[in-house]
Amino acid sequence: MRCPFCDYEESKVIDSRPTDEGLAIRRRRECLKCSKRFTTYEKVENIPLMVIKKDKSREPFNADKLMNGLLRACEKRPVSLHDLEKIVSEIEGAIYNSLEREVTSHQIGEMVMERLKKLDEVAYVRFASVYRQFKDINTFLEELNKLLKDT
């Protein structure tokens, strides 16, 4: 951290404490060259994540929307809410860890299907039928046959 008095680049932290709102950390620092003290604030950088939809429009990533899709696919299935929350958390983490600011809905859909396939095959087929927009019974059967080959 550069000293605001002498422009020296090295300082030491004397005191650290959260701000009243808990959204940042207040740090008292001392310059290692001129020994003057100054205050800095550190906060988490929120990187806005945008989803590119099929029609090329963009909207902010919404974990609740992802959860709602999973809930619909798993309706009346023996899948716990904890498992669904874990899927949402894994996908959200993978997206944010990729450090990309934009992700396609296709990428998200593929991540969901990969996890649902391991969790519940019926929920997987339900989700795939909506996600892949099966046009007729033949495309539906093709997906079922792929599933049967994998198991």
- pLDDT tens figures, 42-84: 987 777 889 999 899 999 999 999 999 999 999 999 999 999 9
Confidence of residue 39 (pLDDT cuts 50, 70, 90): very high
State if pTM tops 0.85. Answer: no
What is d(CA 151, CA 41) in angstroms, rounded to the nearest whole number?
54
Domain ranges (residues) in the chain: 11-43, 50-150
Please say if the pLDDT value at position 20 is more than 80: no
